[in-house]
Amino acid sequence: MKLPFSGRALTAGAVAVVTLTAGGSVAGVASAADRSGPAPGTAAAAAAPDLPIANVKAHLSQFQSIATANGGNRAHGRPGYKASLDYVKAKLDAAGFTTRIQQFTASGRTGYNLIADWPGGDANQVVMAGSHLDSVTSGPGINDNGSGSAAVLETALAVARSGFKPAKHLRFAWWGAEELGLVGSRYYVNSLPSADRAKIDGYLNFDMIGSPNPGYFVYDDDPVIEKTFKDYFAGLGVATEIETEGDGRSDHAPFKNAGVPVGGLFSGADYRKTSAQAAKWGGTAGQPFDRCYHSSCDTTANINDTALDRNGDAIAHAIWALSQ
């Protein structure tokens, strides 16, 4: 059994604020005795950038256009899936990631996972984030799961833009054939040598994070990852709940089953928002979190921008905080 994440408390996002006074001395620096940040001589923890919602939405528009041009979906074994993968891969390649396409077969059709490594960091301590990139055949899959795919892509691009040099190694993944039963992610985990599996400190999953009648759900798995997300939302003044809409219903399940610490975020699928949930989150009680779940109306109109923005920022925060 693996220890919770790195097995120690993380001082996520703790950044000292110092003020230069007129005389040039530095005010607000803690004395050595009460200094709680990194030891002298080590770099201060870098804070994650705000993830630009406009960029995340631009990726969603591209996924929508791809679906529209390819029979209305981005499903496994259909041309809209491969076009989605090529779009994400081109962005990552241009940003300096080392990308790899992993092929598999499911239901007689070729499927693809996309794996992107950010060069550097300790290869024995890998922090991973992933999302399924396939839709169902009945629609374009913009909330399920263009939302997670776009936010993970934008987080990876933010890593590149900022020149972030984390202590741990970062790996991002886009899974194929999730909608056929977690096929792509299971294929990846099963094909990883067990020595490499043991190097994954944590896997963070994002499947449906812009639901139109959103809830703010955090996976109740690895305690360090869970706390990282909960603390982030607490800082925003946004209440969270534990994800209960089907444990094991997304790509974190194969990782969890292999003993990898997992976590993630979710804004709700076809369960209905209760009145207590509407009281704390707004939106409509008695209606599903996503009334277009697995249907043709899961378009760019099926996104709550506030939820997408908060969850995207939370992903970036967690990647930064957990990898330093």
Among 70, 145, 277, 299, binds Zn ion (CB under 5 A): 145
Q: Cα–Cα distance between 249 and 267 in angstroms, integer? A: 14
Please, what is the angle between helix 148-162 and helix 79-95, to 10°?
A: 10
Q: How many residues bind ligand TRP (CB under 6 A)?
A: 13
Q: Cα–Cα distance between 132 and 148 in angstroms, integer? A: 8
Q: How many residues bind Zn ion (CB under 5 A)?
A: 3
Cβ 134 to ligand TRP shortest distance, Å: 9
Q: Are 230 and 322 in contact (CB under 8 A)?
A: no
Judged by DSSP in three states, 121 sits in coil
Applying the rule CB under 6 A, the residues between 227 and 246 that interact with ligand TRP are 243, 245-246
Among 269, 303, 315, 318, binds ligand TRP (CB under 6 A): 269
Cβ 182 to ligand TRP shortest distance, Å: 8
218 binding ligand TRP? (CB under 6 A): no
Q: Judged by CB, which is closer to ligand TRP: 168, or 256?
A: 256
SS3 letters across 131-143: EECCECCCCCCHH
251 binding Zn ion? (CB under 5 A): no
Q: Judged by CB, which is closer to ligand TRP: 178, or 313?
A: 178
Cβ 144 to Zn ion shortest distance, Å: 4
3-state helix, strand, coil in the chain (%, to 5): 35, 20, 45
Cβ 179 to ligand TRP shortest distance, Å: 6
Q: Judged by CB, which is closer to ligand TRP: 82, or 256?
A: 256
266 binding ligand TRP? (CB under 6 A): yes
Q: Is 27 exposed, middle or buried (0-12, 13-18, 19+ CB in 10 A)?
A: exposed
Tokens linked to 290: 């996503």
Query: Which residue is catalytic, options 178, 179, 226, 243?
Result: 178
Q: Cα–Cα distance between 196 and 6 in angstroms, integer? A: 16
Determine the residue type at 32.
Answer: A
Applying the rule CB under 5 A, the residues between 125 and 144 that interact with Zn ion are 144
Long-range contacts, 83-87 (Cβ 8 Å, 24+) = 84/133, 84/149, 85/112, 85/114, 85/133, 85/174, 85/176, 87/59, 87/62, 87/63
Cβ 178 to Zn ion shortest distance, Å: 6
Q: Would you call 241 a catalytic residue per the annotation?
A: no
Binding interface with Zn ion (CB under 5 A): 144-145, 207
- Write out the catalytic residue numbers: 178
Binding interface with ligand TRP (CB under 6 A): 144-145, 178-179, 207-208, 243, 245-246, 249-250, 266, 269
